[in-house]
Amino acid sequence: MSEPQQYDNYSERVFASHDPNVAWSVSDVAKYINAVVKHDFPQYFWMFGELVLSSKTQSLAHLYATLRDNDGFSISIVWFNGVSKLAQANIKNGDRVLVYGHIDFYQPRTSVQFVASQIRLIDDKNTLLEKMRQTLAKLAAEGLTDPARKKPLPPYPKCIGIVSSPDAAGYRDFLHTCLSRFPRLSFVLAPSKVQGNTAAAELRQALQMLDDYGKCDVIVLTRGGGSADDLWCFNDEALARAVAAARTPIITAVGHEKDTTLVDYVSDCNAITPTKAAEVVTGNYFMVSGTLADFMRRLEQNIVWKTKSLRMRLDNCLACPYLVHPQGMISDRKTRLANDEIRLYGALPQRAQKMRSTLDNLWQRLFFCQQTRLTRASASLKATTASLRALDPKGVLQRGYSILLDENQHAIRKSEEAPSGTSLTALLSDGQLKVVVT
């Protein structure tokens, strides 16, 4: 590609911006933006937002900070020699302020910053924030923020009181979510403003009216998101005390997740959004509804299966010939009974003869075994008797031998045991003799 064509006039470049041969340099873009900023923006103007101080401000004389709004947009701020002035004005990090100055475009980094010459608090908001902190500390000291004093929410509320504006987005979100999760709930709305100077008194009156009504199981104080000014009525001390003193359990759902008001600390339950409050109120209903729906589905499946099974059994019964013609079944059973009777009578003699033959065989085997065992026992007895006779001393005496006994009737086995002159007794087969050794 050839070298991009150069233009000296910014307008020519704008009209030629779709030409691929035309390219802007970074410095050209920076110069063009700087020219637009200086031409279109007023030289000095006021701007408001939340002041977020930079960490390097603590060690420098110049003030470096960021100004942001509730929508999340932010711009860098510099106030030369402004640190001491900020301290004199008692302006702190997080305060909402008015900043007077001009837009400055730093071309080398193509960055925009706001050069301030004055910074002021907006309507003394810092005092209001400090009062809110003091009020919260006082309520906490009285025990109104203690979790132990919070009332339990009813598990299955039937009537739900709502304190909100009918036109509030939070009210519509809460109602839609509740009815989509459990449509049989009933609601009582106490309409009230949810922002403005008279909103706190109206909210307190509406809350008291629903609490005195006595038929609401739970009361929901809700509205959608908004700026800090829009939600400021929910920081009213009298309203917070009314919430804490209510006999009916109170759920607060004010703003979005990042928003926290005074009533959130003293309520019995703080939901981060109106939708979340609806989920809290209908939580058990939703769970039970799902369980019941599952039971109903399984019951319907079982009924259908059981119906089909019984229908099949009925069809099988209707197709059975015996049910269509029961007399045929009776005749068939009679025939089978007669045949069984014939077979039984024919089988009895054969069975008896077979059992008789088996019994005879068993008797013969028993007799033979008994004779064999008796013969063996008799032979063993004879052998044992012969062995005993061979060992009997009297048997030795019958063969002509004798046994010599001393005076103590001990047998003499050696000659040393009977010296000369010893009186002995000689046992013979038919008697005994008295002898003296010589």
Kindly report, residue by residue over 9-55, the tens digit of the pLDDT: 555 555 455 666 667 778 877 888 878 777 777 778 888 888 888 76
Residue-level pLDDT at 85: 86
Handedness of CA 181, 183, 186, 187 (dihedral sign): positive
Residue 4, pLDDT score:
44
Q: Cα-flanking dihedrals φ and ψ of residue 134, to 5°?
A: -65, -40
CA dist 193 and 214 (Å) reads: 22
Mapping DSSP to helix (H, G, I), strand (E, B) and coil, where does residue 53 land? strand
Q: Report pLDDT for 16.
A: 52
Look at residue 200 in the predicted model and tell me its pLDDT.
Answer: 92
pLDDT for residue 17: 55
Predicted pLDDT of residue 129 = 67
Range list of H helices, 182-282: 199-213, 237-245, 262-266, 274-281
111 vs 245, more confident: 245
Q: Calculate mean pLDDT across residues 258-287.
A: 89
Place 56 in a pLDDT band, splitting at 50, 70 and 90: low
> Quick one: average pLDDT of 92-115?
84
Distance in angstroms (rounded) separating the CA atoms of residues 435 and 438:
9
Range scoring the smallest mean pLDDT among 54-63, 204-213, 254-263, 265-274: 54-63
412 Cβ contact list (under 8 Å, min separation 6):
404, 405, 406, 418, 424
* Strand-by-strand arrangement of the 423-427 sheet: 403-405, 423-427, 432-436
Between the ranges 21-30, 187-196, 222-231, where is the mean pLDDT highest?
187-196
What pLDDT is attached to residue 152? 94
What whole-number distance in Å separates Cα of residue 307 and Cα of residue 315? 12
CA 403 to chain centre: 105
Q: Please check whether residue 77 is in contact with residue 116, taking contact to mean a CB–CB distance below 8 angstroms.
A: yes
**Rounded CA separation 438/436 (Å):** 6
Q: Is the pLDDT of residue 399 over 80?
A: no
Q: How confident is the model at residue 3 (pLDDT cuts 50, 70, 90)?
A: very low
Instruction: Determine the average pLDDT of the residues in 223-237.
Output: 83
Burial grade of 99 (CB within 10 A; 0-12, 13-18, 19 or more): buried
Helices (H), 392-425: 393-398
pLDDT of residue 258: 74
Token reading at 300:
């319907």
Q: What's the token pair of residue 315?
A: 């069809």
